[in-house]
Structure 1
Amino acid sequence: MNVKPYLDSTYLKTASQAGLSEAENTIVVKNAIAEAVEEGFKLIMIRPEHVSLAKKMILDADSNLLVGTVIDFPEGKSNLESKIKEANEAIENGADDLDFVCNYEAFKNGDTALIKQEILIGTQIGLANNKTVKWIIEVAALSDKEIIQLSALIKNVVLSNFKEEDYASVFVKSSTGFYKTQNGLPNGATIPAITIMLENASPLSVKAAGGVRSYEDAVEMINLGVKRIGTSAAKAIAGGENTTNQY
């Protein structure tokens, strides 16, 4: 199976997280973009400040590579006004996909009204600008019951407020890949979590991110029914290698 059309090649570290200078980190970003172009992946997923750079490089290469970015990353705790501002800036800079971090802590605390509002408004902004919208629910922070409930909440908001032809442009996504777990527990996509998401988000699509570390993992996720896979080791995975990358 050719997994490349499913892969969102990902680099989301800041310079400080990577232990690099800003200039050095920008070189890493440029290399990631160039590799995604060369390998024919679906998308390059980068931080908002690099979207304009990616669009220029892709245009210069006459490539069909998509550009995705994260909104309110990685904790999702910002207010709705801040999320809207960040999303609009990403759109202006040319992002094709907007991966919002859902305020999962507010959800866990029972504030479903806030969650419904951010899902509605964020999705409206994306779809109105012909963008793909993904909602990151951070499965490692949730119980199985909460994964069920949050996946279903997102689905119900979309089904209640948007047209059927819009459904394919809205995803529920497993993880940021940056969540800190205890005792070495998985911090991203697992087969049980993805299965729960698929069962409760349908007809919305699911993106598996965090924890896909081999070609076999990718194929298993695709066979389960995921439509996109986020990984910082896309080339290795597509080439049949295993990786220890955390997201």
Structure 2
Amino acid sequence: MDIRQYLDSTYLKTAQQAGLSDAENVEVVKAAVAEAIEENFKLIMIRPDMVAIAKQMINDAKSHVLVGTVIDFPEGKSPLEEKLAEAEKAIAEGADDLDFVIDYTAFKAGNIAEVKQQVVACTRLGRKHGKIVKWIIETAALDDHEIVQLSALIKNCVITHLCEDDYNHVFVKSSTGFYKTENGKPNGATVAAIKLMLENSFPLPVKASGGVRSYEEAVEMIQLGVKRIGTSSAKAIAAGEAASGGY
């Protein structure tokens, strides 16, 4: 097993969140892209405004590393038109994977039709352009029943409105890593949440994102059945080490 081909190496901090200037943050992104190229990770996951930079670096290096970005990040509350516009810009600038934050707030409020409309329209857009689409459900904001319901909702939208050939290219993803939890509760992927997602999203694949910081944790997720792992600790995981913190 080449664990690197499961790893979406991730850097999603804004300059303000990182305590850096804009120019300094760009350099951090460039370093993350260079590391992904050197380590031959599956993908580098960065903010939309960094997609063009990452794509140029990867093309110049003649690398096969994919470029992923997040859409409507981190809360997923934007109207459908804004989600689509942000995705279209990312596609134009060379993104390979589009990781949409689902409007989990609307879902929790019972606005199911609205959520379904967003899932169908955004997934269709991504697949029309041959892109991988992932739906971040933010498991830390949901109880177990809601994780089951939302995973099944995404699955049913895809099965009903897209082709069978699309199934392997539409993921259910656990977390943004930016959700603020109380009492030190995990804000990323947990084994319990991932099991619920796997059981209720099949045949769609699952991405475990956030909280996977060691080789052993990554292997455990892969053995459960996940197809991608989003982590800021990709290099440590690939080296069989444990990282002390981060996404």
Structure-1-length-normalised TM-score: 0.99
Q: CA RMSD in A?
A: 0.6
Partners of 2:31 and 2:243 in 1: CA distance: 18
- Paired residues, number: 247
CA deviation digits over 1:201-227, x for unaligned, max 9?
Answer: 000000000010100000000000000
Runs (4+) off by over 6 Å? none
2:110 is aligned with what amino acid? G
Aligned residue in 2 for 1:245: 245
Aligned residue in 1 for 2:73: 73
Partners of 2:197 and 2:144 in 1: CA distance: 10
Q: CA deviation at 1:243?
A: 1.4
Q: Relative to structure 2, which stretch is displaced further, 237-246 or 110-119?
A: 237-246
Q: Residue 10 in 1 paired to residue 10 in 2? A: yes
Aligned residue in 1 for 2:145: 145
Q: CA deviation at 1:2?
A: 2.7
Aligned residue in 1 for 2:111: 111
Q: Residue 32 in 1 paired to residue 32 in 2? A: yes
Aligned residue in 2 for 1:57: 57
Name the SS for the 2:179 alignment partner.
coil
Aligned residue in 1 for 2:100: 100
Partners of 1:32 and 1:173 in 2: CA distance: 22
Name the SS for the 2:176 alignment partner.
coil
CA deviation digits over 1:58-78, x for unaligned, max 9?
Answer: 010000000000000000011
Aligned residue in 2 for 1:201: 201
1:123 is aligned with what amino acid? T
Name the SS for the 2:196 alignment partner.
helix
1:20 is aligned with what amino acid? L
Q: CA deviation at 1:241?
A: 1.3
1:18 is aligned with what amino acid? A
Partners of 1:83 and 1:218 in 2: CA distance: 30
Name the SS for the 1:178 alignment partner.
coil
Partners of 1:150 and 1:5 in 2: CA distance: 27
Name the SS for the 1:226 alignment partner.
coil
Aligned residue in 2 for 1:231: 231
Partners of 2:213 and 2:31 in 1: CA distance: 20
Aligned residue in 1 for 2:155: 155
Partners of 1:235 and 1:245 in 2: CA distance: 13
Name the SS for the 1:172 alignment partner.
strand
Query: Structure 1 stretches of 5 or more lacking a match?
Result: none
Name the SS for the 2:187 alignment partner.
coil
2:99 is aligned with what amino acid? D
Aligned residue in 2 for 1:215: 215
Q: CA deviation at 1:147?
A: 0.1
Partners of 2:22 and 2:184 in 1: CA distance: 30
Partners of 1:204 and 1:216 in 2: CA distance: 24
Name the SS for the 2:89 alignment partner.
helix
Partners of 2:160 and 2:124 in 1: CA distance: 12
Q: CA deviation at 1:245?
A: 2.5
Partners of 1:246 and 1:142 in 2: CA distance: 22
Structure-2-length-normalised TM-score: 0.99
Partners of 1:112 and 1:245 in 2: CA distance: 35
Query: Structure 2 stretches of 5 or more lacking a match?
Result: none
